[in-house]
Amino acid sequence: MKLYVFVVNTGTTLTFDTELAVQNVSDLKHAIQTKYKIAIQHQVLVVNGGECMAADRRVCSYSAGTDTNPIFLFNKEMILCERPPAIPKTTFSAENEMELKVEESLMMPAVFHTVASRTQLAVEMYEVAKKLCSFCEGLVHDEHLQHQGWAAIMANLEDCTYSYQKLLFKFENVYSNYLQSIDDIKLKLTHLGTAVSIMSKIPLLECLTRHSYRECLGRLDSSVGHGGAESEETEDEKSAELVLSSDIPRVHNKSLLGSFCKSVEHSALDSTDPGNVKEDRESSQNTTVEDSKTSVELNETDLPSFNVSLLDWINVQDRPNDVESLVRKCFDSMSRLDPKIIQPFLVECRQTIAKLDNQNMKAIKGLEDRLYALDQMIASCSRLVNEQKDLAQGFLANQKRAENLKDPSVLPDLCLSHANQLMIMLTNHRKLLDIKQKCTTAKQELANNLQVRLKWCCFVMLHADQDGEKLQALFRLVTELLERVKIVEALSTVPQMYCLAVVEVVRRKMFIKHYREWAGALIKDGKLLYEAEKAKRESFGKLFRKSFLRNRLFRGLDSWPPSFCTRKPRRFDSELPDISLTDLQFLQSFCPAEVQPLLRVPILCDFEPLHQHVLALHNLVKTVQSLDEMSQTITDLLNEQKVSNSQASPQSATTPRMESAKGTTFATSSRTPPSLSLQGPLCPPVCPPAPLDELSPDSIDAHTFDFETIAHPNLEQALKQGSLDLDSLAESPESDFMSAVNEFVIEENPSSPNIVSDPQSPEMMVESLYSSVINAIDNRRMQDTNVCVKEDSLNARKEKCRVVAQESQFNLRNIKEDLCHFRTFVQKEQCDFSNSLKCTSVEIRNIIQTVKLSLEKALKDKHEKELQSLKSEYETRIDTLLKDKEQQIEKLKLKVSDLFDVRCKLEVELALKEGETDEMKILLEESRTQQQEILKSLIDKETENLRKELDNLNHKIQVNDDEYQVGLVELRTLMTIEKDLCISELVDRHEEETNVLKIELNKVTALHQKAFEAEKSLKEQIIELQSKLEVEANALEKQKEEKLAVCEQKDKFEAVIHNLEKEKELLITNQEQERKLLVQKLCSEKEDAIRITLKEFELQREAVEEELLEKIQLLEMQVNQRYYNYSLIQCSFNSARLYTVVVFNYMITYYFFHSSLASFSAQNR
């Protein structure tokens, strides 16, 4: 396999190794330069389809490089040269000596030596013919490749024109849009001028540049930690650039840091309320310690003065592209895009497109027809080579036959036939030389034509590339101008946007302050409510968890309230600059009047409804706390009474308690809400529930007054807790009242254990209720004094708890500080640990690599030893196999030699048969020429006879005309007398003559039918001849098959037999094809000859019929004009006689043609 490169200029093919297919195109160009001396800058490599090969891509990435689809190379140096490329003319050594050798061989006597020399000469002529044919095929193939190369460069030109048109269309659209918007651009530039004058008067706030200072200082600190003296120099340079970027005088880094820290502290104090200052200080305590130290060390006189306008800041952001340079560039590009300059250039671009679309130069007219003619010449050349081959094989066969016969009497005839065959071969040789000359001249003419067209293509593409670069530059200029106009438009709105942004920041700062205050108050009260509700639900859940009614009657008691308003909102707007109302007032005092309407103090939303909601929530929490305190005092009093009663009468208390319990089960209502005990700093811990048997009368409260709650032990376990329900006190005061009544009833009853009246009667129930109410009121009045004392003690406890809480808060702050220090320490430890880990990982990697290298060496040694052992084993095996195969090859060579002998014999037989077929061809051609000559002579004789008869007829007609003119005079005298009689007689005679003519026409049609039937019979005879020929061919095939069967019986080796059969079958098929072709040719030639003769006869017949019709029409005219019958009768007889003569001649020629065909078919048989 090789890599093929075709030079289109000269039509030559360059071959390279396939290794270059894996390399880049640049390597291929270097190889072409080194091997064929074509400079790289003059090489243009194109593949089929018009794609140029890129230098950085691989050669194999393109589908080209084969002999049928090579890489096309165009040499620019040769294209730009004035002389067309010269195609070398190659001449073979023996092609011009053949005529002399043939003349010398013809002069030799009829001996065996002449036969041998002539056969050798015939073989040499055959070899020369093969060389000439292959050379011509190469020339034509090169011309086809040149045509493909021209098509490829035309495809590339089409791609270039398409891209050029696309770029031109794009630029025209952009430029038209630009021309429409010129006035708008000028207006925007004027607006920018007014905006610049306003920006020069607007001061830049110092707090807006602190973020950039902070980033720069962070970079400075990082560079100080990592670098040495070199890093300090870079830090000074960076700080200098930073200070210059905002037009502030350069100061020391400490002064910048101190001013930054002071401004941050001032803004933090302004923007936060006193309630949140503590939290902010706690969160930022560790980060501001170092900054506070540096700010203390600095003096106020060291701080820089900040006097920068908004225009200065904008000019410094993208140096040297300030506002002035931006406007200058806009006007410069507008002057370059003047229509007076651009419109002529666009006209030139359209002209280049017209030049690129020159169809007269693109299409090579007639090239395809010329290449088709050359292909036909190559086909004829191959036919001539085959003819030379056949003749040379005939020479060899005759030589072997003469050597076998050894009869000198055969030599004269053999030498004569050899001389004729040598003359035929010489004529074929001359034809081949003529074809070679035509092919070389055609290639030279195509190269000259391509030279002119490639030069045109080169110049046109160069001009298009130059215009394309100009178009791209102009398009880039227009796009940059439009982008600058967008920047101008944005800069013209900078003052308004700056003022609006400052006002928006101030508004957000105010909103954050109010929002945080409202949210903090809301979260405090909401958290207390949420925790109280959570504690109540937890206490009730402990009671109701194992109840029988849990999932049957009271579903949904396991739910929890959502945690709403219990956490602080997330931090937002933390990155806003530190702009305050003083800064806004500062801007109002310095900004011009155009911007003053935008610098108004912002109006916040109305927070009063939110504050009212917070107050209502706070009042609700206070009422809840007061109710909790009341319930706690009541439960404490009840516990004390219970203890006193249990100590006074422990035995008598049990029976009245049970009786009162039985009585109250029917008296109370079932309307008791679930217990929601408040567990907080004011509520004591809940006592564990006592068993049901230890219930005392004092422990019965609103929960035990219900009939349903007494029977369930899960509820009775909570009765010993002594906790009063907060919701029952707040929502249903009747339960509290009934519990007090119940208590006094139980206290009065222990003295009388045995009750006379029925406790279930309604009268007793009413009386007990009235008495209990009166006793409860008296008891409450007595207990007010005890409550005041207890409240004093509770206040003292609250103060102690507050002191403890303050101490705990102080301790927590200290703990936070310690945790922050510990965090920094842990971070340092982490850094050290990570560095140590990196070092250890590096060491471990080095160890692993050393171990890996040692293992690889050991494995390589083992592998090499194994490879050597395997190599030795395989070499021994290969040697043995090579010896065996050499023996097999020798045996096969012997078989091939035997087969070659058999093949030679068969070729000799084929040569003899081909000689016979050639003789048959010659005889057929001779018979054709003879028949054509005979037919021509007959046709000439008949035409001469017909001309003579026509002359006689014309003479007779003239004589009759003279007689007619003489008779007219006589007729005029007799006209008046015999007018009527003559007219009647003439009509009768005219009818008789028309009848006679009709009879003659019927005879002519019958003759025509007979001729058509004769044609049909001839066709049937031709079909019979074809069938007979097929039968004879089948007989010959059968004979050959019998011969093959005999040969198969005689052969010994089966492999040789199979090969011979295959070769013989191929030969038989070739012979059959040739015979079929001969038969078809003969049939076609016969049919052509018959058709030609029939056409000629039909043409003659039609001509004769036309003449006859014309004469009949003349006769009819004469009949109408003349009145004599004599002249009419003579004319009609003469025409009939002429027609019969023509028909007779036609029948004679037809019979002669039929006899010649019969003789020809007999000869063929």
Question: How do residues 1033-1072 score in pLDDT, each as one tens digit?
Answer: 777 778 777 777 666 767 666 776 677 777 777 878 777 7
Percent of the chain with pLDDT over 90: 23
Q: Does a cis peptide bond (omega within 30 degrees of 0) precede residue 320? A: yes
Work out the average pLDDT over 746-757. Answer: 41
Residues 142 and 215 in one domain: no
The rounded distance, in Å, linking the Cα atoms of 188 and 381 is 81
pLDDT score recorded for residue 828: 78
Is 1038 part of any domain?
Answer: no
Work out the average pLDDT over 419-443. Answer: 92
Residues 754 and 708 in one domain: yes
User: For 957-988, what is each residue's pLDDT tens digit?
Assistant: 878 777 777 777 676 666 666 666 656 666 67
The count of structural domains within the chain is 3
Q: Is 207 exposed, middle or buried (0-12, 13-18, 19+ CB in 10 A)?
A: buried
Residues 537 and 458 in one domain: no
Which of 710, 726, 760 is the last residue in one of the domains? 760
Residues 75 and 162 in one domain: yes
Residues 142 and 68 in one domain: yes
The rounded distance, in Å, linking the Cα atoms of 679 and 89 is 119
pLDDT score recorded for residue 646: 62
Work out the average pLDDT over 1117-1121. Answer: 67
Which domain covers residue 697, as residue numbers? 518-575+608-760
pLDDT score recorded for residue 792: 75
Residues 277 and 225 in one domain: yes
- Measured CA distances, 661 to 634, 696, 698, 700, 701 (Å): 21, 10, 12, 9, 11
pLDDT score recorded for residue 976: 63
Quick check: 223 pLDDT over 50?
yes
Is 912 part of any domain?
Answer: no
Quick check: 235 pLDDT over 90?
no
- Mean pLDDT value across the chain: 74
Lowest mean pLDDT among 154-168, 266-280, 767-781, 858-872: 266-280
Q: Is there a contact between 342 and 175 (Cβ–Cβ < 8 Å)?
A: yes
Work out the average pLDDT over 299-303. Answer: 37
Quick check: 885 pLDDT over 60?
yes
Residues 543 and 629 in one domain: yes
User: For 602-623, what is each residue's pLDDT tens digit?
Assistant: 776 556 666 666 677 667 677 7
Quick check: 1019 pLDDT over 80?
no
Q: Is 514 exposed, middle or buried (0-12, 13-18, 19+ CB in 10 A)?
A: middle
Give per-residue burial for 395-405: e unless 16+ CB within 10 Å, then b.
Answer: bbbbbebbeee
Work out the average pLDDT over 106-128. Answer: 90
| Cα 1128 → chain centroid | 95
pLDDT score recorded for residue 307: 78
Work out the average pLDDT over 39-54. Answer: 91
Is 858 part of any domain?
Answer: no
Q: What number of residues does the chain have?
A: 1165
**1122 vs 495, residue with greater confidence:** 495
User: For 85-111, what is each residue's pLDDT tens digit?
Assistant: 887 777 777 777 888 888 888 888 888
pLDDT score recorded for residue 153: 92
Lowest mean pLDDT among 49-58, 519-528, 1021-1030: 1021-1030
Work out the average pLDDT over 1131-1141. Answer: 54
Percent of the chain with pLDDT over 70: 70
User: For 464-495, what is each residue's pLDDT tens digit?
Assistant: 999 999 999 999 999 999 999 999 999 999 99
The rounded distance, in Å, linking the Cα atoms of 1060 and 25 is 52
Residues 111 and 208 in one domain: no
3-state SS class at 605:
coil
H-state helical runs in 976-1052: 979-1050
Residues 232 and 277 in one domain: yes
pLDDT score recorded for residue 857: 86
pLDDT score recorded for residue 984: 67
Quick check: 930 pLDDT over 70?
yes
Quick check: 524 pLDDT over 80?
yes
Give per-residue burial for 609-629: e unless 16+ CB within 10 Å, then b.
Answer: ebeeebeebeeebeebbebbe
The rounded distance, in Å, linking the Cα atoms of 58 and 45 is 13
User: For 313-334, what is each residue's pLDDT tens digit?
Assistant: 988 887 777 888 999 999 999 9
pLDDT score recorded for residue 745: 40
Is 8 part of any domain?
Answer: yes
**280 vs 1054, residue with greater confidence:** 1054
Work out the average pLDDT over 558-563. Answer: 83
Is 393 part of any domain?
Answer: yes
What is the model's pTM? 0.46
**958 vs 240, residue with greater confidence:** 958
Count of CB atoms within 10 A of residue 900's CB? 10
Q: Is there a contact between 355 and 460 (Cβ–Cβ < 8 Å)?
A: yes
Residue 5 per-residue DSSP state: E
Is 619 part of any domain?
Answer: yes
Residue closest to 206 by CA, chosen among 158, 247, 159: 247
Residues 525 and 630 in one domain: yes
pLDDT score recorded for residue 270: 39
Which of 293, 308, 323 is the last residue in one of the domains? 308
Is 359 part of any domain?
Answer: no
- At 575, the pLDDT band (50, 70, 90 cuts) reads confident
The first and second tokens of residue 830, run together, are 């982490």
- At 432, the pLDDT band (50, 70, 90 cuts) reads very high
User: Which distant-in-sequence residues (6+ apart) come within 8 Å of 164 by Cβ?
Assistant: 349, 352, 353, 356, 464, 467, 468, 471
Quick check: 883 pLDDT over 60?
yes
Q: Is there a contact between 1036 and 1074 (Cβ–Cβ < 8 Å)?
A: no
Lowest mean pLDDT among 47-51, 162-166, 484-488, 558-562: 558-562
Order the strands of the 2-7 sheet from edge to edge. Answer: 12-17, 2-7, 71-75, 43-46
Residues 287 and 224 in one domain: yes
Residues 154 and 246 in one domain: no
3-state SS class at 1097:
helix
pLDDT score recorded for residue 919: 76
Residue closest to 584 by CA, chosen among 702, 669, 503, 663: 503
The first and second tokens of residue 737, run together, are 């009242």
pLDDT score recorded for residue 771: 60
Residue closest to 1100 by CA, chosen among 1161, 1148, 1030, 1059: 1148
Quick check: 423 pLDDT over 80?
yes
- Measured CA distances, 17 to 4, 21, 141 (Å): 9, 8, 22
Q: Is there a contact between 411 and 112 (Cβ–Cβ < 8 Å)?
A: yes
Work out the average pLDDT over 349-364. Answer: 89
Residue 618 per-residue DSSP state: H
Which of 289, 308, 327 is the last residue in one of the domains? 308
Tell me the pairing of strands 2-7 and 71-75. parallel
Q: Is there a contact between 258 and 294 (Cβ–Cβ < 8 Å)?
A: yes
- Measured CA distances, 827 to 220, 538, 1007, 1062 (Å): 21, 43, 130, 93
DSSP string, 641-691: HHHHHHHH-TTTTHHHHHHHHHHHHHHS-S--PPP----SSSSPPPPPPPP
Is 642 part of any domain?
Answer: yes
Quick check: 1142 pLDDT over 50?
yes
